[in-house]
């Protein structure tokens, strides 16, 4: 847990330093937060209980696709037959699986 990595030259472990100096550490996704707590920074989680937290920014993958990639959004809409098919629930993207081997879809993708 040393903030200094021994060796030559000595280096500061910036991730460790950020945990020690921060009020809270955000894991972003629940799975990511759990992995941080149980593996990568297990000792820090024991020393500073509840410091590693899970908070999302509220952007869902489907909204991110919709806002950031208009051409992919158009392809998904055209393939699934409408915006509501996938924007209401990410699991609706499973309906794209049959198109994974479709040459036309692959080309457009």
Token pair for residue 30? Answer: 């629940």
CA quadruple 50, 14, 38, 7: dihedral sign:
negative
Determine the pLDDT at residue 11: 96
**Reduced to 3 states, what is the DSSP secondary structure of residue 14?**
helix
**How far apart are alpha carbons 14 and 11 in whole angstroms?**
9
Q: What is the pLDDT of residue 100?
A: 95
- Quick one: pLDDT at residue 48? 96
The token pair that represents 59 in the structure block:
């952007």
Tens-digit pLDDT string for the chain (109 aa): 999 999 999 999 999 999 999 999 988 788 889 999 999 999 999 999 999 998 876 667 788 888 899 999 999 999 998 777 788 888 888 999 999 999 999 999 9
Burial (CB count <10 Å: 0-12, 13-18, 19+), residue 85 = middle
């Amino acid at each position: 847990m040393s903030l200094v990595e021994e060796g030559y030259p000595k280096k500061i472990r910036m991730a460790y330093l950020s945990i020690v100096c921060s009020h809270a550490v955000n894991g972003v996704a629940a799975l990511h937060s759990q992995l941080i707590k149980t593996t990568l920074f297990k000792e820090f989680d024991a020393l500073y209980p509840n410091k590693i937290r899970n908070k999302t920014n509220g952007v869902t993958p489907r909204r991110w696709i919709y806002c950031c990639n208009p051409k992919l959004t158009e392809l998904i809409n055209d393939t699934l037959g409408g915006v509501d098919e996938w924007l209401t629930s990410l699991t609706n993207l499973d309906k794209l699986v049959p198109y994974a081997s479709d040459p036309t879809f692959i080309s457009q993708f």
